[in-house]
Structure 1
C-alpha cells in the first residue's frame, strides 16, 4: 500500500482529493488530506461581506462534507515537511508519503509593514481578505458616516488580483445606494503603474475610475502606516491621508513552508509552471496559492491546475513523462458596481482581450465589457463553487487551457 498525502483542505486540496480518489485503486493507494481548520470558506465571498451582499452563512461550511469517501481526513496542525525523508510531521504524529501534494494556500501578513497591524487594526484599518476582517469591515461600514476612504494594495502577488478594484467599485455603488456618495472621497493606491495588473486592461478600463470619481495613486511603495496621524507613507516619503483604510497586505505562503525550508522569500514553493511538479523534489507537487507560478492566485486557476495535476500524478505513478501543458489559464468576473461586471480570460502569455466567451460567435458573455449578465455570472459562481468546483466536476464548455476562439487578438 502506497501513501498519497495532501496538505491543505482548501479549494485546491479538496479538488485534488475528489479528482484522485476515483482514479487510484483503494487497494494500492491510501489517500490522506490534512488541515487544521474545521471550516471551509468561500473566499471570493469575502468581497461581498462588507457590503451586506452575502451573509456569513453563505461563505462558510464544514469542510469535511466535501472530502470524498475513501479519503482519510485528518484535522491536525502540520508542523513540518521533511522532503528528504518523505515524511510530514503533524502536531501528534508523523505521516509517511510516496507522493505529496502541497495545497497550503496563502495568507495575509500585515505584520510585514510597520504599523499596519497596529492599534487601529480592525478599527479604522481593515482587510477584507480574511473572514474576520471582512466581518469587522462590514460592521464599520454599517455605521460609518463618511470621509476619506483609501483602498490600498501593498504588493503583488495577491489572491485574486482584481479584488482590490472590485472592492473600490462596490464601495462606490454601496455609498451611492445609501445616499452618501458625496460624503465619501475614494482613493485607490497601488504600487503598480496602473490600476489593473494587466497593462491592456488598464488601458481599456481606466474609464471606470473616472466614471466613479475614484482618485488613482500609482507607484506607491508603502513603508509604514502612521496610526497617530492616519496616513500611509511610502519610501519616497509621500503621504496619503485616510479616515478609513482598507488595505491588502503582503500575501505570503504558509509558515509551514518556511519551517520546512521549501519556499522562496514569500514562502511560495518553487514549482514548474507547466507540470506543477516541485522544482526540487520529484515526488512533491504543488497547486493553487501555494505555488510560485506566475498565474493568478484564484479559484479558477486552481480548478484548471487540478485537471492537469491529476493527469500528471497518474503519469508519475506509471513512470511516464509529465504533461507540460498548464498555460496559466485564468478567467474571472470583475464586479464594477451597480449590478454590472466584466469578464476577463487570460493565461501566462495572453493578456485579457475583447471577444466572446465561452463560444466564439454566440458568447453569450462578452469579454472586457460591462454587463448585468456578467454580474449574475459572478453571483452564480458561488453555487458552482460549492456544488461543482470543490467536487472536481468539470465546468461545461470551459477547458483547462485558454481557447483563443472568439477573441480579438489584434
Structure 2
C-alpha cells in the first residue's frame, strides 16, 4: 500500500481529504490527515464576532466530524517534514509518505513587530484574525465609549486581504447603531499605496472610506508600537495615535515549515502557481494559506485550488503530466456595513471589474456594487462552508477558473 499524507485539517486539508477519499484507489492507497487541534474554526466568522453578529457556536465545530470515513485521522503535533526521506516526524511517531499535501495554513505573528505583543495586548491592542483575539475585542467593544480607533495592517500577504477594510466598514455601522459614531474617529492604516491590492477595486473601496468618514493612511510601514503613549510608529518616524488599535499582525506559515527548511522568509512554501506542486520536491503538493502563490489567502481560493489539486494528485500517481490550470481565482464578498456588501471576482491576471455574477447579464449578484443581496450572500457563505465547501461539494454555477462572462472588461 502507498501512503498519501495531508498535513493540516483546516479548510484546505479537510477539503482535500473529502475530494480524494472517493477518487484514490482504496486497494492501492491509504489516506492520512494529521492535525494537533480538535476544533475547526470558520475563520471568516472572526470578522463578525467583535460586532456580536455571530456567536462562538457559529464559528467553531469539532473538526473530526468533517473528516470522511476511510481517512485515518491522527491528532498529534507535527515536529518536522523530512522530504529527502519521505518521512514526517510527529511528536511521538514517524509517518512514511509517497505523496504529501501540505495544508498547514498560516498564523499571526504579533511578536514580529516591536511592542505589539506588549502590556496592552488584548487591553487596547487587539487582533481579530484569531478566535481569542476576536472574542477579546468583542468584549472590549461592548464597553468602549469612543475615541481614536485605528485599524492597521502590518504587511502583506495576509489572510483575506479585504477583511481589515470590512472591519472598518462594520465598525462604522456598529458605532452608528450604538449612537456613538460621532465620538469615534476611525483611521485605516495600510502599507499599500491604496485601500486594496487591486487598483480598480481600491478606487471603489477608497470612495467608501470617504463616504463613511474613515481616514486613510497609506504607505505606512510600521516599525514599532509605543505602548506608553499609544502610538504606532513607521520607519519614517511618522506616528499615529490610537485609543484602540485593531491590528492585523504579520502573517506567517506554520513553524513546522521553518523547522523543515521548506519555506521562504515568511515560512510559505514555494509552489508552482498553476499546478500547486512544490518547486523543490515533486511528490509534495501545497494548498491554501501554506503556499507562496500570489493569490488571496481565502477559503474560496482554497476551494478552487482543491479542485485542480485533486486532478493533479490523480495524474501524478498515474505518472501523467500535471494540469497547469489554477489561475489564482478568488471570489470574495466584502461587507460594507448597513447590511450591504460588494462582490469581487478576480485571478492572477484579471483585476476585479463591474458586471454580473455568476450569469452574464442576469446575475443575480452585481460585481463591485453595494447591495443587500450581496450581504445575504456573505452571510449564506457560512452555511455553504460547513455543508458544502469542507465536504468537497462543488458550488453550483461557480467554476474553479475565473469566467470572463458578465464582466465589463475594457
What is the TM-score when the length of structure 2 is the normalising length?
1.00
Write the deviation string for residues 108-138 of structure 1: whole angstroms up to 9, x where unpaired: 0000000000010010000000000000000
Write the deviation string for residues 311-347 of structure 1: whole angstroms up to 9, x where unpaired: 0000001100000010000000000000000000000
Aligned-pair distance for 1:204?
2.9
Partner residue in 2 for 1:372: 372
8 Å contact kept, 2:195–2:203? no
Aligned-pair distance for 1:27?
1.4
- Give the match's secondary structure for 2:334: strand
Q: Matches of 1:336 and 1:75 in 2, distance apart?
A: 39
Q: Matches of 1:185 and 1:257 in 2, distance apart?
A: 40
Aligned-pair distance for 1:208?
0.4
Q: Does the alignment pair 1:67 with 2:67?
A: yes
5 Å-filtered alignment, 1:278-317, equals: 278-317=278-317
Aligned-pair distance for 1:202?
1.4
- Give the match's secondary structure for 2:262: coil
Aligned-pair distance for 1:24?
1.1
8 Å contact kept, 2:287–2:305? yes
Partner residue in 2 for 1:198: 198
- Give the match's secondary structure for 2:366: strand
8 Å contact kept, 2:67–2:73? yes
Partner residue in 2 for 1:385: 385
Partner residue in 2 for 1:264: 264
Q: Matches of 1:118 and 1:58 in 2, distance apart?
A: 30
* Gap regions ≥5 residues in structure 1: none
Partner residue in 1 for 2:255: 255
5 Å-filtered alignment, 1:21-32, equals: 21-32=21-32
Aligned-pair distance for 1:205?
3.0
Give the paired residue count: 410
Partner residue in 2 for 1:159: 159
Write the deviation string for residues 68-106 of structure 1: whole angstroms up to 9, x where unpaired: 000000000000000000000000100000000000000
- Give the match's secondary structure for 1:246: strand
What is the TM-score when the length of structure 1 is the normalising length?
1.00
Aligned-CA RMSD value: 0.4
Aligned-pair distance for 1:361?
1.5
- Give the match's secondary structure for 2:172: helix
Write the deviation string for residues 169-221 of structure 1: whole angstroms up to 9, x where unpaired: 00000000000000000000001000111111112332101111000100000
Q: Does the alignment pair 1:131 with 2:153?
A: no
5 Å-filtered alignment, 1:46-125, equals: 46-125=46-125
- Give the match's secondary structure for 2:176: helix
Q: Matches of 1:206 and 1:87 in 2, distance apart?
A: 48
8 Å contact kept, 2:276–2:286? yes
Q: Does the alignment pair 1:240 with 2:240?
A: yes
Q: Does the alignment pair 1:343 with 2:343?
A: yes
Partner residue in 1 for 2:144: 144
